[in-house]
């Protein structure tokens, strides 16, 4: 299930509106429905339309069909690659995912690297430094940091590209069997495959290119395809070869024909083409194409023609990286970076102006002063040496000051942050608490730049199906003909072998046991010929036939026993077919022409005369079957709203009334309901339909619309059979997780496509809603009604607010009993009138006053709209979590998007920033990792600002004693290495390893999460504070050695070394003071870095041509140096220590209390299991 690699990018959202929310049936749009004779099918709905929605239905009809304009088409001559490729330059099948070749690597890689602003700043400074007038540092020293970073990144890119080259080569040199002129299949390398070529693929072989199926080993042309590499779905999908081509392959050796298809595009679920063969034109749809990367299963071989090759295949067009978002912290950081830039400019201006003043004051003395020596006499002509007047000098000094003080803007911070996020991502991915055993899916960081946002979330928008629930459907109950069979008193199917199918000497059993209702079983077995039994019979027949499920027979250990595995895209359908099987209607075989059902022990064959696929317009599907008794029946199943509109109410009003009431009670139990209906078709009806169908299916333009209209026409006047209730089970730990999130001050909103009753009942079962909540329900069909109820809701909210002042801060006062909490339930229809209108503001007011918001019947774009409602109006961080294609828009809209790698394919995962297996992992993810990431990153950014500023200030104070000429006592190498080597590693390591609180404490007190929401670890106040600290520490580091050595023989290099060593020790000890949890890694890096700095200084002073030769040895030889280091370090850190102690003891924040609690109240257990934790959560809180 868990594909590790992003093969697909989220598909682009179509802007086409479609009126319906997420349907209760979840068919996969790729579901095939083609059969040879009479060949008919609806084009499966385009998945991207399925996930879009909007206010208007009117647009739908006109835009429904993307027509295949002749000019745009790509023309493929079957088995004639030469002619096919003659005119059009179709891509070959050789792929190239690598970015560089050996020649282009350097320029292209550098070009890409310099897209980053930080590097440009770096480069600009380095270039400035190369001008002889401005050469502050030597060439080598000034280029070192930039070169280092570029080199490391280039090395990484080169390695990645090398791997891509290798895999490209591997991929391109695989072999495929293609048809040659003499009708033989001969091996050929993948890269030589051309569009138009016909090739054969055997079972379990990977497809080399997108191909249109021509023939398969199955006589009816069916092929089963696994698309796990494409979208991660493991279930088999059926694909069909057209009847017209079936007979021609492969015995006859050749085939002639022309395919006209769309240009290459990214839509993996859509394909639109037609095939001209033998003068006949037949249409091709998504069910006829198999994409590169798929594998055939249960199909011995398949022959097809290449339509898209190489980089034009859909999988390649879809392969690009995860979406890029920028974290909140980084945005704020840029604000502070701006402040630092201003500070830098101020510092430089001060130096430049002071230098100007100095020059003016000393003007008369410049000529004779030995250290200035204005005049140059060496050439015979006396002239000024290297002096262009005060103004010019001031300007040059300014630029030089920028070079000298460049690290005021901590460039290395950007690289450090990347490394830290990489490290954090590593630990998140390796966290065994985020590993889902059941689906074997690990946690994945797909976006690497928003780790710390996980610590500041205030709103969670959750999908329901597949996210809160498992999306494993279980048939629970049914109402048939007005009788409710929901007692559930039956036995497990598995214990009762009576419903297995005897085939020869073998026993076939459905794979999944289902609870059966004993009354119903009895009725079916011994019911006689009553009316009731007849309806029940038809009901289960409908369940067994009206679907697109493919039964697969699996071997078991016992050769006499076989298992029937029902494969299909919709879990609802699977549940229904298993249910039908449990009641004795075992679907045994399905081909494109007929269905074999073992009806209560008797094998019956039904001809599949027609099938109208599910689509989100009609919200129902239907089949036309020819029964063994020669009658023709139409079975329909679909959502209640859609079904009641086509049911003939006159037929059986009492049954309809009863069914409606049963449906209501099922919904309130949280069950997903489907209404089943049937219609006996007379011969005239059928003939009329068949001619309409033939007309529609041969139409070249608007075929989909015609087919759809035709389907709607026959799906009328239906009599009701009953309805089914399917349980969508809650995922493990969901109520506890939601409770924890609420404790943590996170508001959980549920956005679902389900019905209001279902949504509310799920809300209750996952503890989102409680009985003491006041529910505000908004479900109206007119704008005025919505407006009115919104106004009422606003009034109600403000009234409650007046009663209980804590409403506004619902976040922190959830637990308080005095509050009356509000829950808002709103449906998609109302949202149509509210979102993007002036009512939005009122909805916002109501919504933030409510503790819980439940949106039901919402369409994918509405989900995004709701996220945007919060995102645009508040500063609060939003997180969207979902699993299906319909959640993609919401996931991309939210600040943080999480994909559940569950049942519904991988589109959500592809669009997400993080992916994981279960909803409950949100708790450790946010409360533990999010909290840690935020704390660490916030501290790291501030620390980096502080440490670089401190060093810059030390340099600045010295400039004041050099006649403002920017001489640096610190060697150029040290000032360049300072931010790269002397101080960078410890902060990175601390930001990866330090933990302010243990996992256990964080899970025990979810409210500790509030620290991130309130931005306690990174804000302007802290920034100002740390700048003050850096000024103080720089003063100490500079002036203590200054006064000690003031009247001495100290030389520049020695004093420079002292300042370097002192500064590095002070900033590293400052970091050490703030480390909470000292493990060996942190020890190693902090002390190791100080040691490394000392070694570096010693090495630099051992190079004879540097001015500081042997200086450090002289300095270290005196006791004064060591006494000086001690006093400097202590004096610099005393204020930090005192404020820290004072703050921690007298104004402790929650984290501090938690830390003490951990230490003194038995927080010593090191390895808590999060599951246990979560179960104990609620108890701890009350």
Partner 1 sequence: MSSPLASSSNLDGSDDTSPQQKQSKKPKYSRFTQQELPACKPLLTPGIVIGIFALVAVLFIPIGLVSLSASESVVEVIDRYDADCVPNNMHGKELDFIQNSSTNKTCTRRIIIPKTMKSPVHIYYELDNFYQNHRRYVKSRSDKQLLQPSKEAETKICAPEGNTPDGKPIVPCGLIAWSLFNDTYQFSINSGSIQVNKKNIAWASDRSHKFSKDVYPKNFQKGALIGGGKLNESIPLSEQEDLIVWMRTAALPTFRKLYGRIEKDLNANEEITVVIENNYNTYSFGGKKKLVLSTATWIGGKNNFLGVAYLTVGGLCLSLVLAFIVLYLFKPRTLGDPSYLSWNRNPSASTN
The strands making up 295-297's β-sheet, listed across from edge to edge, are 236-240, 222-226, 295-297
Q: Which of 721, 1044, 1066, 1097 binds partner 1 (CB under 8 A)?
A: 1044
Tokens for 440? 């074997």
Is 156 a binder of partner 1 (CB under 8 A)?
yes
Report yes or no: 316 and 309 within 8 Å, Cβ to Cβ: no
Pair type for strands 852-856 and 822-827: parallel
Is 1074 a binder of partner 1 (CB under 8 A)?
no
| Nearest Cα to Cα of residue 1149 among 1019, 956, 1053, 975 | 1019
Interface region with partner 1, contact rule CB under 8 A, candidates 277-285, 298-306, 361-369, 772-780: 361-369
436 is in an annotated binding site: no
Report yes or no: 862 and 53 within 8 Å, Cβ to Cβ: yes
Interface region with partner 1, contact rule CB under 8 A, candidates 77-85, 597-605, 795-803, 1047-1055: 1047-1055
Is 38 a binder of partner 1 (CB under 8 A)?
no
What CA–CA distance (Å, rounded) separates 645 from 647? Answer: 6
Q: Which of 198, 613, 1056, 1097 binds partner 1 (CB under 8 A)?
A: 1056
210 is in an annotated binding site: no
Report yes or no: 1181 and 743 within 8 Å, Cβ to Cβ: yes
Tokens for 418? 């990347």
Interface region with partner 1, contact rule CB under 8 A, candidates 470-478, 520-528, 591-599, 1115-1123: 1115-1123
The footprint of partner 1 on residues 918-977 (CB under 8 A) is 961-963, 965-967, 969
DSSP 1176: H
Q: Name the minimum Å distance from CB 21 to partner 1.
A: 33
Burial class of residue 749 in the structure, from the number of CB atoms within 10 Å of its CB (0-12 exposed, 13-18 middle, 19+ buried): buried
239 is in an annotated binding site: no
Q: Name the minimum Å distance from CB 1044 to partner 1.
A: 5
Q: Which of 206, 561, 641, 712 binds partner 1 (CB under 8 A)?
A: 206
573 is in an annotated binding site: yes
CB nearer to partner 1: pick between 299 and 1013: 1013
Is 916 a binder of partner 1 (CB under 8 A)?
no
Q: Which of 19, 196, 257, 293 binds partner 1 (CB under 8 A)?
A: 293
Cα 414 from chain centroid?
A: 23
Cα 388 from chain centroid?
A: 59
Q: Name the minimum Å distance from CB 409 to partner 1.
A: 12
Interface region with partner 1, contact rule CB under 8 A, candidates 38-46, 246-254, 618-626, 1150-1158: 1150-1158
883 is in an annotated binding site: yes
List residues bridging with 383 in a β-sheet: 376
Is 1157 a binder of partner 1 (CB under 8 A)?
yes
CB nearer to partner 1: pick between 63 and 1118: 1118
Is 95 a binder of partner 1 (CB under 8 A)?
yes
Interface region with partner 1, contact rule CB under 8 A, candidates 160-168, 277-285, 788-796, 905-913: 160-168
Return all residues near 836 (Cβ < 8 A) that are at least 6 apart. 55, 865
Is 1127 a binder of partner 1 (CB under 8 A)?
yes
Q: What is the per-residue binding string for partner 1 in 975-1014, x denoting contact by CB under 8 A? A: ------------------x-x---------x-x--x--xx
The footprint of partner 1 on residues 417-456 (CB under 8 A) is 418-419, 421-422, 425-427, 429-432, 435, 437, 440-442, 444-446, 448-449
Q: Which residue has the tokens 């740390």?
A: 1026
Q: Name the minimum Å distance from CB 195 to partner 1.
A: 19
Q: Name the minimum Å distance from CB 309 to partner 1.
A: 14
List residues bridging with 552 in a β-sheet: 565
Q: Name the minimum Å distance from CB 1173 to partner 1.
A: 14
Our CA dihedral for 430, 433, 439, 444, rounded to 10 degrees, sits at -40
Q: Which of 192, 532, 660, 1051 binds partner 1 (CB under 8 A)?
A: 1051
Q: Which residue has the tokens 């997903």?
A: 672
Candidates 463, 728, 827, 1101; catalytic one = 463
Which helix (H) or strand (E) segment holds residue 588: the answer is strand 585-590
Q: Which of 395, 764, 844, 1109 binds partner 1 (CB under 8 A)?
A: 1109
Q: Name the minimum Å distance from CB 167 to partner 1.
A: 4
CA distances from 285 to 34, 196, 361, 467, 804 (A): 9, 18, 87, 31, 60
CA distances from 200 to 187, 291, 930, 965, 1134 (A): 10, 14, 50, 78, 78
Catalytic residue flag (residue 463): yes
Q: Which of 489, 781, 1161, 1172 binds partner 1 (CB under 8 A)?
A: 1161
What CA–CA distance (Å, rounded) separates 878 from 856? Answer: 19
Is 256 a binder of partner 1 (CB under 8 A)?
no
Is 522 a binder of partner 1 (CB under 8 A)?
no
Tokens for 1110? 């042997």
Report yes or no: 571 and 672 within 8 Å, Cβ to Cβ: no
The footprint of partner 1 on residues 384-403 (CB under 8 A) is 385-386
Q: Name the minimum Å distance from CB 978 to partner 1.
A: 19
Map residue 327 onto helix, strand or coil.
coil
Which helix (H) or strand (E) segment holds residue 796: the answer is helix 783-803
Neighbours of 550 (CB within 10 A): 21
Interface region with partner 1, contact rule CB under 8 A, candidates 38-46, 319-327, 697-705, 947-955: 319-327
Residues recorded for the chain: 1182
What CA–CA distance (Å, rounded) separates 1025 from 508? Answer: 75
The footprint of partner 1 on residues 362-381 (CB under 8 A) is 362, 365, 368-373, 375-380
Is 331 a binder of partner 1 (CB under 8 A)?
no
Q: Which of 306, 1050, 1064, 1065 binds partner 1 (CB under 8 A)?
A: 1050
CB nearer to partner 1: pick between 233 and 262: 233
| Nearest Cα to Cα of residue 749 among 611, 887, 617 | 887
863 is in an annotated binding site: yes
Is 115 a binder of partner 1 (CB under 8 A)?
yes
749, HSE (Cβ side, Cα atoms, 13 Å): 29
Cα 734 from chain centroid?
A: 20
Binding site: what residues are annotated?
A: 463-465, 573, 614, 637, 672, 752-754, 857, 863, 883, 886-887
User: So which residues are the catalytic ones?
Assistant: 463
Binding-site positions for Mg(2+) read 463, 465, 883, 887
């Amino acid at each position: 299930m868990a594909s590790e690699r992003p093969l697909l990018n989220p598909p682009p959202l179509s802007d086409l509106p479609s009126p319906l929310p997420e349907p209760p049936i979840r068919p996969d749009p790729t579901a095939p429905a083609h059969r040879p004779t009479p060949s008919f099918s609806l084009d499966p709905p385009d998945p991207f339309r399925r996930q879009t929605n909007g206010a208007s239905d009117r647009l739908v009809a006109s835009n429904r069909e993307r027509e295949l304009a002749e000019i745009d088409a790509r023309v493929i001559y079957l088995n004639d690659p030469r002619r096919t490729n003659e005119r059009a330059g179709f891509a070959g099948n050789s792929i190239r995912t690598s970015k560089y070749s050996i020649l282009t690597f350097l320029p292209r890689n550098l070009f890409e690297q310099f897209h980053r602003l930080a590097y440009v700043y770096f480069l600009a400074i380095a270039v400035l430094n190369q001008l002889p007038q401005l050469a502050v540092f030597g060439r080598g020293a000034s280029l070192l940091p930039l070169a280092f970073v570029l080199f490391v990144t280039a090395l990484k890119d080169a390695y990645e590209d090398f791997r891509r080259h290798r895999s490209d080569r591997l991929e391109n040199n695989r072999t495929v069997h293609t048809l040659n002129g003499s009708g033989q299949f001969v091996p050929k390398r993948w890269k030589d495959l051309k569009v138009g070529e016909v090739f054969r693929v055997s079972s379990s072989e990977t497809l080399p290119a997108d191909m249109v199926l021509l023939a398969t080993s199955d006589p009816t042309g069916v092929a089963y395809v696994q698309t796990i590499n494409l979208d991660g779905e493991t279930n088999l999908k059926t694909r069909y070869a057209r009847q017209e081509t079936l007979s021609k392959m492969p015995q006859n050796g050749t085939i002639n024909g022309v395919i006209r298809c769309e240009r290459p595009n990214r839509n993996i679920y859509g394909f639109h083409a037609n095939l001209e063969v033998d003068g006949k034109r037949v249409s091709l749809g998504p069910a006829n194409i198999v994409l590169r990367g798929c594998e055939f299963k249960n199909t011995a071989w398949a022959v097809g023609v290449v339509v898209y090759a190489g980089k034009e295949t859909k999988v390649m067009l879809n392969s690009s990286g995860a979406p890029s978002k920028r974290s909140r912290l980084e945005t704020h950081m840029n604000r502070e970076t701006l402040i630092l830039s201003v500070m830098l400019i101020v510092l430089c201006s001060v130096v430049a102006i002071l230098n100007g003043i100095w020059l003016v004051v000393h003007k008369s003395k410049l000529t004779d002063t030995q250290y200035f020596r204005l005049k140059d006499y060496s050439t015979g002509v006396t002239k000024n040496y290297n002096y262009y007047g005060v103004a010019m000098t001031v300007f040059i000094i300014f630029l030089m000051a920028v070079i000298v003080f460049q690290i005021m803007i901590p460039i290395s911070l950007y690289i450090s942050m990347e490394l830290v996020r990489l490290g954090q991502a590593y630990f998140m991915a390796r966290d065994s608490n985020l590993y889902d055993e059941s689906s074997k899916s690990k946690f994945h960081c797909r976006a690497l730049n928003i780790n710390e946002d996980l610590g500041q979330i205030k709103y969670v928008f959750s999908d329901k199906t597949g996210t809160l629930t498992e999306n494993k459907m279980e048939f629970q109950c049914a109402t048939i003909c007005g009788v409710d069979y929901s007692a559930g008193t039956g036995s497990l199917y598995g214990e009762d072998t009576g419903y297995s199918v005897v085939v020869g000497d073998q026993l076939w059993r459905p794979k999944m046991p289902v609870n059966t209702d004993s009354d119903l079983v009895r009725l079916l077995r011994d019911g006689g010929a009553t009316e009731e039994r007849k309806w029940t019979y038809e009901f289960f027949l409908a369940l067994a036939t009206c679907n697109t499920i493919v039964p697969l027979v699996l071997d078991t250990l016992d050769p006499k026993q076989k298992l029937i595995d029902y494969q299909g895209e919709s879990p609802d359908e699977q549940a229904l077919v298993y249910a039908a099987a449990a009641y004795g209607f075992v679907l045994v075989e399905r081909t494109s022409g007929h269905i074999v059902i073992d009806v209560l022990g008797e094998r019956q064959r039904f001809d599949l005369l027609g099938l109208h696929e599910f689509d989100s317009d009609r919200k129902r599907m239907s089949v036309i079957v020819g029964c063994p008794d020669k009658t023709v029946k139409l079975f329909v199943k679909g959502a209640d709203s859609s079904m009641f509109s086509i049911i003939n109410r006159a037929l059986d009003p009492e049954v309809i009334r009863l069914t409606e009431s049963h449906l209501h009670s099922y919904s309130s139990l949280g069950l997903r309901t489907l209404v089943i209906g049937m219609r006996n078709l007379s011969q005239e009806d059928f003939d009329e339909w068949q001619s309409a169908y033939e007309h529609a299916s041969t139409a070249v333009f608007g075929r989909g619309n015609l087919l759809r209209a035709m389907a709607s026409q026959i799906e009328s006047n239906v009599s009701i059979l009953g309805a089914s209730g399917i349980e969508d089970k809650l995922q493990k730990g969901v109520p506890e997780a939601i409770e924890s999130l609420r404790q943590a001050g996170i508001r959980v909103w549920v956005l679902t496509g389900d019905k209001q009753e279902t949504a509310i009942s799920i809300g209750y079962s996952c503890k989102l809603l409680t009985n003491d909540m006041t529910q505000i329900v908004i479900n109206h069909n007119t704008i005025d009604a919505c407006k009115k109820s919104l106004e009422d809701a606003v009034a109600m909210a403000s009234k409650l607010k007046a009663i209980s002042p804590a409403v506004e801060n619902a976040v922190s006062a959830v637990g308080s009993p005095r509050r009356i909490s509000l829950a808002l339930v709103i449906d998609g229809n109302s949202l149509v009138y509210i979102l993007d209108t002036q009512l939005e503001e009122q909805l916002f007011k109501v919504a933030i006053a409510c503790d819980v918001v439940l949106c039901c019947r919402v369409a994918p774009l509405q989900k995004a709209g709701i996220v945007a409602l919060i995102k645009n109006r508040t500063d609060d961080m939003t997180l969207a979590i979902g699993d299906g294609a319909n959640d993609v828009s919401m996931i991309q809209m939210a600040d943080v998007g999480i994909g559940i790698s569950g049942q519904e394919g991988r589109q959500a995962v592809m669009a997400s920033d993080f992916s994981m297996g279960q909803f409950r992992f949100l708790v450790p993810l946010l409360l533990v990792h999010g909290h840690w990431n935020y704390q660490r990153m916030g501290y790291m950014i501030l620390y980096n600002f502080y440490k670089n500023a401190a060093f810059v200030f030390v340099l600045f104070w010295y400039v004041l004693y050099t006649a403002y000429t920017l001489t640096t006592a610190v060697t150029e190498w040290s000032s360049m290495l300072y931010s790269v080597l002397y101080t960078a590693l410890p902060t990175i390591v601390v930001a990866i390893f330090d933990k302010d609180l243990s996992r256990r404490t964080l899970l025990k007190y979810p409210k500790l999460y509030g620290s991130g929401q309130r931005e306690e670890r990174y804000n302007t106040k802290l920034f100002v504070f740390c700048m003050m600290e850096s000024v103080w520490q720089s003063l100490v580091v500079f002036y203590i050695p200054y006064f000690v050595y003031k009247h001495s023989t100290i030389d520049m290099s020695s004093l420079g070394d002292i300042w370097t060593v002192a500064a590095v020790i002070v900033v590293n000890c400052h970091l050490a003071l703030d480390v909470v949890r000292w493990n060996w890694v942190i020890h190693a890096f902090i002390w190791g870095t100080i040691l490394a700095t000392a070694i570096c200084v010693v090495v630099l002073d051992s190079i004879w041509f540097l001015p500081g030769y042997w200086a450090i040895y002289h300095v270290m030889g005196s006791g004064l140096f060591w006494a000086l280091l001690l006093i400097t370090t202590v004096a610099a850190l005393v204020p930090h220590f005192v404020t820290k102690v004072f703050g921690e003891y007298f104004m402790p924040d929650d984290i501090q209390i938690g830390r003490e609690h951990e230490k003194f109240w038995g927080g010593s257990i090191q390895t808590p299991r999060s599951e246990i934790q979560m179960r104990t959560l609620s108890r701890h809180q009350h």
